[in-house]
Every structure is written in C-alpha cells, then in structure tokens.
Amino acid sequence: MNKILELREKRAKLWDKTKAFLDEKKNEKGLLSSEDTATYEQMEQEVLAFGKEIDRLERQSLMDLELSKATNTAIVNQPHKEKDDTAKTGFASNAYKESMLTALKSNFRRVDNVLQEGIDTDGGYLVPTEYDNRLIQGLEEENIMRKLSTIIKTGAERKINIAATTPAAAWIDEGGQLTFGNAKFDQINLDAHKLHVAVKVTEELLYDNVFNLENYILDKFARALANAEEDAFLNGDGTGKPTGIFHPTDGGEVGVTAAGLKAITADEVLDLIYSLKRPYRKNAVFITNDATLALLRKLKDANGAYIWQPSYQAGEPDTLLGYKVYTSAYVPTVGAGNPVIAFGDFSYYNIGDRGSRSFAELKELFAGNGMVGFVAKERVDGRLILPEAVKILKMKAA
C-alpha cells in the first residue's frame, strides 16, 4: 500500500509539472511548437503510465488479500468424531468441491458419485458454490460495470416493472370535484444469453501437484468472461447478448452532441453534467476511454483550472469536475458520430445472472497433442431500465 501511495504522489507531482509546462510553453495563440508538443505528450504518457501501474498494483493487492484468506476452519468437534458437513449440501458441500478438483486433475477419469448432484442440462458439472463465489469476485475486480450496476440473481426470465407515467397534483376549490389520472406501467425483460470461455492446459501441468490448477483456471476464466461482459454491457446490441449503455435506442439518452469531430470542450462536459436530472447526479459517475480521458485532462474551466483532478487516495478513481471517472477500453474512441462519454447513475443498469456457472471437459478434442480442454459457461443479460438515468456525449457526425 505504501508503494501505491508513493506512486500516487509521484503522479500528482508529475501532473502539476506537466500542467505548468503546458502553460509556460504556449505562444500568443495558445499553441505549442512541434518540439514542445512532443515533450508534453511524453510527459502525459508518463502520467498515464503511473495511473496504469497504480491500477495494476491495486488489483494485485486485492488478489493477494483474497488468496491470503484462511482455507481451513478451526477444529471444534470432539476427537475421533466425524466432521459435521450437514451445514453444506449438494454442490455447496466440501465433498463436491474436493471431488471437482480431483476430477479436473484426473482429466475426469476419477469422478465421484457426489458430482452427479451437480450435472447441468448441457452436460458438464455445476461449479461448486465456493468456486462460483470466487469467480464472481474475479469479475468484479476486472469489470467496471459490475461495480456500478445492480446485480440480480434470476432463476427464469425477470420482468422489471417501470412507471411509464407519474400522477400529477392539481389545485381544486373547496368541495370541488376530484380529477383522476391513469397510472401507466411498462415492463423490461431480463433474459439469459449464453457466454462461454474455453482454455487448454498441458497434461504435464494438469497432473503436476505443484501447479495451482484451481487458481489458474479461475483466473483465466474470470478475466475472459469479464472482458466479454464489459464490452456487451457497454456496446451490446441485445441480439444474443446484453443491451449496452451506448445502444442508440435502448441505451442512455444523448445529452450533448459535440460541435467538433475530434475535439471536446470543457463547456460541453459541463453541459453533459447538467443534461442529467438532478436526482441522478447525486450518484453519477463518468465512463470513458483512456484516449478520450487524455483529451479531457487538457481542458480548463472559465477560471483557468483543469477540470480533471488526480486521486490521492488508494482505491479511489480520479475526478472530472468533482465526479468520479472510470475508464474502459470498450468505450468508443473519439471519432465522427461516436458516443465517447457516458455520465449517470449506473445502478439503473440491471445485470441478471441466471443460475450458476458451470465447468465442462472437452472430451477427446485435444487428446492427440497432449492437451486437456475445459470450458466455463454462464447465462447473463443486462439492460438500462431507465434511459434518462444515463446521458451520453456524442461526437458530431461527419
């Protein structure tokens, strides 16, 4: 943690130095020479590099904390008395977890009867409860949308009721006749789209007791699923995948259209903030691309102060005009007609997780080259249930 704090202080000092360089080297037209532009961009890249290293160390710290948790519980039962495992049954039990690990290491040649409790309808075996929880933690560390959205566990299609109209108050005279309005409601359905990821491992690694198979598979599956999910939660078209925030009709509402094709002004960012209704601004954050954030970092308000401010506290994101900023590689970059910034309360984006994730062995597929394949599957959907809760800054069309 001291290393992270040290890097944050270095980044803040370098950013102050970068801003001072930009102010000092501008000519009477407010422009930089080619040489000074190259120097500024190099300094800015170093600031970005510090930010990425800080993010990496924070994720590493969270992973170290998770892996350092005790895996054994204290022995409280009497000697020579069998351990009571009645608190956990089915694929939540320790027996199921141990049998799953044994099956994985033996290329599913050693399958205990207890695994039959967890066979899913598509073949394969349901992930033990402990595995499933840890996989979800991995997704949360990698996927910004799971940090900001509302997660719903579903066993079937979930219908979400939305008030389409709200009643209006009216003044009436003493003894006057009451007027009634019709309350209308709409529904949004959260379905379940199938997402899968497959990995191959060599038989040598699989059978090597020193190799931590459990952590390897969970880490690879978590990262791959998180990347695919985040892309869909932002850009999905709703066909075979979730509907994303930037969907032109079922995503957030366009709050501001930039006047330029490749440039964004501080006033346009300010207009984006106030295009969002006041109740949603209380919990609102920005989501944008790193390349777009690099442009926003150069912008100043009417008083000459930079609208972007770095975070000095570990685990806290940077801020833009006082609101937290999250970046994703899947947000479209600056270009004609592209949506490049989303601002709003993303808790109104609902993610529906259908059931548990499952493992399956890819039988015989890689038998000829000494490899063993495994596949993880999940069923998930996502939808912004109130479009007015998120506003989009879109670039001018060509």
* pTM, entire model: 0.67
Distance, CA of 342 to CA of 169 (rounded, Å) = 33
Q: Which residues contact 393 (CB under 8 A, 6 or more apart)?
A: 255, 256, 257, 258, 264, 268, 269, 272, 339, 340, 341, 342, 343
pLDDT single digits (tens) 77-133: 444 444 455 566 666 777 777 777 777 766 666 666 666 666 666 667 677 776 666
What pLDDT, in 10s, does the model give residues 241-297? 999 999 999 999 999 999 988 889 999 999 999 999 999 999 999 999 999 999 998
Least confident of 163-172, 173-182, 276-285: 163-172
Separation of CA 396 from chain center: 27
Consecutive H or E run containing 350: strand 349-361
- Residue listed under structure tokens 């709050």: 255
End-to-end CA distance of the chain: 47
- CB 138: neighbour CB atoms within 10 A? 20
Residue with tokens 């975070």: 311
Rg, Å, the chain Cα set: 26
**Rounded Cα distance, 354 and 156, in Å:** 7
- DSSP state string for 271-334: HHHHHS-HHHHTT-EEEE-HHHHHHHTT-B-TTS-BSEE---STTPPPEETTEEEEE-TTSPPS
